[in-house]
Amino acid sequence: MTFKSTTALGLLGLGALAAFASTGKLSLGAVNAQGAAVLERASKSGTIAITNDDQTIVMVNPETDSISVFDAEPLSKRSSVKTGNEPSSVVIHPDGKTAFVANRADATVVKVTSLTAASPRVSEPLEVGSEPTGLALSPTGAKLFVAEWAEGRVSVVDTASMKIIASIDAPTNPRSVVVTNNGDSDDSDEFVLVPEFFGQVGPGAEASDESRTGLVRVYKVSDYSATPGIRFSPLDSGFVPDGTNAGTVKTAPNQLYAAAVQGQKVYATSISASPKGPPKFNGNVHPVVYVGDLETRKEDTGKAGTVNLAKKVQEAISSGQPRHFLADLVDIAFAGSSNIAYTVSKGADIVQRVVFDEVKGITIGSQFNTQIDVGRAQGDAKPCQNPIGIVTAHDGPRAYVNCWVSRNLAVIDLSKQQVAQTLASSETPTGEALEVNRGKRFFFTGRGRWSKESWSSCGSCHPDGLSDNITWQFAAGPRQTTSMDGTFSHGSGAQKQRILNWTGIFDEIHDFERNTRDVSGGLGAVTTDGCGDLNEERRLDLAGGLDKPVREVQNEAKPSCTKDWDEIEAYAKTIRP
C-alpha cells in the first residue's frame, strides 16, 4: 500500500513556511499526470473545507442551517445558502465548484453547485441514515462516503447521480470518515478509514481506566470489503490527580472526533477517559492524539506516535504561566505534507501546533508561542469561541477555523502563528436565541471560571449535550453519563424536568456548580464580590442538604456576579432527542 507523500513540505518549519509564502507555490496541482482532476490530499470529515487552488473556503453554520462561501484573498464572504437542518460536515469536489453537505438533523446530504457564483444552487436532499456527521470523497470525487453516527453505518453515494450505491454496515457509531489518496485517478486502490467514536468495551472492567480501546475500521474503496483495522490501547496519562498520591492514572480511548491521514499514518483526536477516580480535573479526561500505521495496521507508540498533549503542555509551559490543557480535541489538520499538525481544542479555544518528529520526538508550539489562543481578541480580530474545525491551505502559511459559538471564520497566519483576521459567517443571535447561545458557550468551554486551566468542560462528558457512554466512579457510586436530551420534555405543553445524574441530590441544572468546582477545578459561576475579576471574585457557600437550592443562593447574592447557570439551563432545554 502506498500513499501520496510528497517532500516539498516534508519537515517544513516556520522559516520555510514564511519563505514559501513569499516566494511562490509548492502545489502538487489539481490535475494529475493522467489529466484528471483529483484532490490534492486525503479527504476527511470536517466543518470547514478549502478548494485545491486555495481560493474558496466553505464552512457549515449549524445554528442557521446554512453554509457560508468565502473568497480566500482578499478574505470576503461570497455567499450564504440554506442546506438543511443542522449542517454538520462539508467536503469540496476536485472541480472546485461543487460541495457536499451533510444535514445532521434532517438525515440528508445535498450537493451544492456553482460555488463560485453569487448564488450557489442546492440539490434536492438525498435521504441517508440517522445523524450524518461526517463526509469524505474519493480522490476523483466520484464517490462520497457518509458517516451516519446514530444509524451505525457508512453510506456510499455516487456523486454524479446522487444515489446511494452501497453501504458499510459494521460500524457502530461512526462520526467521521477519511479516504486515502495516492495521487492518481484510480480510486479503486484507496481505503476508507472509519474511526469508531466511542471506545470499544474492554480490556478492563467497566468504570476502570482501561475499560475502552479505540478502533479505526479500514475498508477498500473498490468493493467496500473490510481489511484489518487499527486498535488503540489505554495509555499512562503521565498525571497524578491533584491531592492524591496514588500514582499516574491510565486513560482510555473515547470520543474519536476526527482523523487525518498524513503519509503512511492516521492521526485520530480523542477525549480519552480515566473514570476510575478520584474525580479531579487532571485525572478525568485527556486530549490524546492516537497514531496508527497504515502499513502494519498497528498503533504507533514510538517517538512520533500516540501522545497525550496535556503532558506536552505541562512540560512546555511552567505552572503559574498562562496555559491551556486542551479541553475537548475535535479536529486535526496538517500543514502541506509536513509533520506539523494543528489540533483544535473546542473547550480551550486553542489551536495547538504539534510537530511529530521521528528522531526528536513530539514537541508543541513554535518560536512565536507555545499555543495559538484563538479565543482572545487580537487587534481587529474578534474572539473565536468554541472552534469545531480547521483546514489548512495547500500552498500557503494559512489555516482557517470554524468558530462555532461566535459564528465567525478565523484566519491563522502560520508564518506568525497568530490569528490575522476574523469574518462573520452567520448572523448574531438576539433575544432568547442569544441566551441559549450564551448557555451553549458556558456548557462547552473550559476557560476562565469553568475549569482549572482549560482541562475540561461540561461537554467533555456530554458530546453535543449527550453522553460519552462512560461509567464514572464517584463517592456516591458509579454513574453512567446521562444524555441531556431527556433533561427537559419535548412534547406539547410546558417543559418538565427530570431528576439529574441518576440521583435525588441533583434536582436542577444549577446543582452542577459543585462539579465545576470540585471535579473540573474551576472557580465556579455562583460568586460574589469583585465581579469581573476572577482573582477577586469569591465563591458563595452552597450550604448543601435541604438548606437552600443553588439557584436561590445564586439569585439572593448581593451582588451575584453571574446568572450563567440560568443560561446553561436555557441551552439544555433545546437539546433535541
CATH number at residue 401: 2.130.10.10
Amino acid at the residue 432 = E
Overall average pLDDT of the 31-40 stretch = 72
Q: Is the confidence at residue 451, as pLDDT, over 80?
A: yes
Assess whether 542 and 467 both reside in one domain: yes
User: CA 384, CA 399: separation in Å to the nearest integer?
Assistant: 13
User: Looking at the structure, do residues 345 and 457 belong to the same domain, yes or no?
Assistant: no
In a domain, 4, yes or no: no
Whether residues 267 and 120 share a domain: the answer is yes
Residue 298: inside a domain, yes or no?
Answer: yes
Angstrom distance (rounded) from CA 71 to CA 246? 54
Please state at what angle helix 564-572 crosses helix 431-444, rounded to 10 degrees: 100
Query: Could you read off the pLDDT of 347-393 as tens digits, one per residue?
Result: 999 999 999 999 999 999 999 999 999 999 988 999 999 999 999 99
Q: Is residue 303 a part of any domain in this protein?
A: yes
Residue with cell 462528558: 461
Q: Is there a single domain that holds both residue 228 and residue 370?
A: yes
Based on the fold, state whether residues 423 and 441 are members of the same structural domain: no
| 182 in a structural domain | yes
- Give the pLDDT score at 547: 72
User: Domain with 550 in it: what CATH number?
Assistant: 1.10.760
Let me know whether 410 and 451 are in one domain: no
Q: Which amino acid is at 116?
A: T
Same domain, 256 and 324: yes
pLDDT in tens, 243-278: 788 789 999 999 999 999 999 999 999 999 999 978
Judge whether residue 28 has pLDDT over 60.
no
**The domain boundary residue, chosen from 398, 427, 456:** 427
Model pTM above 0.85 = yes
pLDDT at 553 over 70: yes
* Closest-CA residue to 348 (of 378, 320, 319, 313): 313
270: left (phi over 0), alpha (psi -120 to 50) or beta: beta
Tell me, yes or no, whether 469 and 563 share the same domain: yes
- Give the span between the Cα atoms of 147 and 194, in whole angstroms: 8
pLDDT digits (tens, 9 = 90+) for 426-443: 999 999 999 999 999 999
Tell me the pLDDT of the chain averaged across its residues: 92
Residue 10 confidence (pLDDT): 37
Decide the pairing of beta strands 66-71 and 372-373.
Answer: unpaired
Structural domain tally of the chain? 2
Boundary (domain end) residue, out of 396, 427, 458: 427
Considering the domain architecture, whether residues 238 and 324 belong to the same structural domain is answered as: yes
Domain span at residue 512?
432-572
What integer pLDDT is reported at residue 456 of this predicted model? Answer: 97
In a domain, 6, yes or no: no
Given 394, 427, 460, which residue is the final one in a domain? 427
3 occurs within a structural domain: no
Q: Work out the pLDDT band at 14, boundaries 50, 70, 90.
A: very low
Strand 250-251 and strand 226-232: pairing?
unpaired
- Residue % of the chain over a pLDDT of 70: 93
Q: Among 122-126, 148-152, 345-349, 555-559, which is the least confidently predicted range?
A: 555-559
Query: How far, in Å, CA of 131 to CA of 470, rounded?
Result: 21
Q: Per-residue confidence at 404, pLDDT binned at 50, 70, 90?
A: very high
Nearest to 417 by CA among 355, 337, 347, 329: 355
Whether 103 is covered by a domain: the verdict is yes
Q: Work out the average pLDDT over 9-28.
A: 39
Give the chain's count of helices (H) and strands (E).
Answer: 6, 39
Percent of the chain with pLDDT over 90: 83
Mean pLDDT of 60-64: 98
87 and 63 fall within a common domain: yes
313 and 228 in a single domain? The answer is: yes
Among 47-51, 410-414, 549-553, the least confident range: 549-553
Residue 495 has pLDDT above 70, yes or no: yes
DSSP element (H, E) containing 126? strand 126-127
Residues 450 and 413 in one domain: no
Question: Residue 557 has what pLDDT?
Answer: 87
